[in-house]
Amino acid sequence: MPELPEVEIVRQGLSPLVTGARIKNLVLRRPNLRFDFPARFADKVKDTRIENVARRAKYLLFELSSGQTILSHLGMTGNYRFFVPEKPGAFEKHDHVVFELSDANIPSAFLVYSDPRRFGFMDLIDDHQNCNFLKNLGPEPLSNHLTSNLLRKRFASRRGPVKTVLLDQHVIAGLGNIYVCEALFRAGINPATPAKNLSASPDGATGEKLEALTRSIRAVLNEALEAGGSTLKDYRQVEGQSGYFQHRFAVYDREGEPCHNPHCNGQIERVLHSGRSTFYCPACQT
């Protein structure tokens, strides 16, 4: 599933292409994705302009001139592509949503949402503050709101493994399995550590661990953004390129391989937390 870096890369790719464009028509090539489309979706967005493309956590937000916002989640295999067709009807099997756009420079272009497994979804929202998908999300991990003190407070009552707690979008928004595994490795924290143990004291060893974790989360996300995200199976950028951060994984999807730390003789292990694969080095992450 695309995580924060991948969704942000898609946003960056879409923004210059579609900002200011008018939605001439919206074609829904099936009645639903993961959920049904909003009632009268096509009628409500027709002839509006896309004023801005934003992101919150793993959601893309197309802000419209009508004051409404198209909320889009990519699910497991969703992707967008933008093109000016050489001939009408140049669409593929899994192209489920087609935005026909126009602006002063392009009389007709298409923004297409494709999703082979259809785990993504779209909604049309009036108010970000009252949207069920957005209103209870935690802070953005690349914002100034993410501090070791915030983690200490949010971990204080959580008995579950820190790996599972970090995946909770109410704690921090946008983190997923890949980057949590990588951040915990860099911070030297065993993923099975109860989160509350890390908040036991704002000083000393636990304070240092939370500082290291805060730095590691930011660092791994920024490096992934610079590398264009991680492509494991389906993720592609708007122009079709793959990401490259998967070539820098220290632990994720490396079960049985040697640890990259030069002074470590350990091997990467895989365990399950809440049904999700967790990769870590038991020698480095004690």
Sign of the torsion angle spanned by Cα atoms 116, 27, 39, 47 = positive
Say which of 2, 5, 141, 191 is annotated catalytic: 2
Q: Which of 58, 81, 154, 254 is catalytic?
A: 58
- The residue from 3, 6, 8, 100 that is catalytic is 3
Distance CA 34, CA 27 (A): 17
243 contacts 8 by C-beta, under 8 angstroms: no
Query: What tokens appear for 192 in the block?
Result: 């099975």
58 is catalytic: yes
Q: Is 3 designated active site?
A: yes
Determine which one of 51, 270, 276, 282 is catalytic.
276
Catalytic residue at 2? Answer: yes
Catalytic residue list contains 209: no
User: How many other CB atoms are there within 10 angstroms of residue 264's CB atom?
Assistant: 12
Cα–Cα separations (whole angstroms), residue 74 to 58, 78, 97, 154:
8, 4, 12, 27
Which stretch of DSSP H or E encloses residue 4?
helix 4-18
Q: CA 206 from chain center: how many Å?
A: 28
- Inter-CA distances, 144 with 8, 61, 134, 148, 149, Å: 17, 21, 19, 11, 12
Known catalytic residues are 2-3, 58, 276
